[in-house]
């Protein structure tokens, strides 16, 4: 029974942390969108963010156990 409750607790925490990270990323991207005005600059910043996400998302997913 304790293992079942622990599994439910881990799933709850995992979903809350994942949701919080998703909301933080959306807020950061919305803020960044207002700061960058040129099309080429948006392309460069988007490429750098995509490259960073390519390497960091698997790390965070592994830490959260997804």
Tens digit of each residue's pLDDT (9 = 90 or more) over 38-57 = 899 989 988 998 999 899 88
Q: Contact 10/65 with Cβ under 8 angstroms?
A: yes
Reported pTM? 0.57
Determine, yes or no, domain membership for 5. no
DSSP assigned state of 30: H
Residue 57 lies in a domain: yes
- Report yes or no on 51 lying in a domain: yes
Mind listing the pLDDT tens digit for each residue in 5-40? Answer: 888 888 888 888 888 888 998 898 889 888 888 899
- Structurally, the chain folds into a number of domains equal to 1
Is residue 45 within 8 A of residue 6, CB to CB? The reply is no
Cβ 45 vs Cβ 32: under 8 Å: yes
Residue 11 covered by a domain: no
Residue 50 belongs to domain spanning: 25-65
Rounded to 5°, angle at Cα 3 from 57 and 61 = 0
Q: Is residue 20 part of a domain?
A: no
């Amino acid at each position: 029974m304790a293992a079942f409750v622990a599994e439910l607790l881990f799933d709850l925490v995992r979903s809350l942390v994942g949701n919080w990270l998703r909301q933080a990323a959306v807020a950061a991207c919305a803020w960044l969108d207002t700061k960058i005005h040129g099309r080429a600059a948006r392309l460069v910043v988007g490429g750098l963010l995509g490259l960073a996400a390519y390497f960091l998302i698997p790390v965070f997913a592994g830490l959260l156990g997804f």
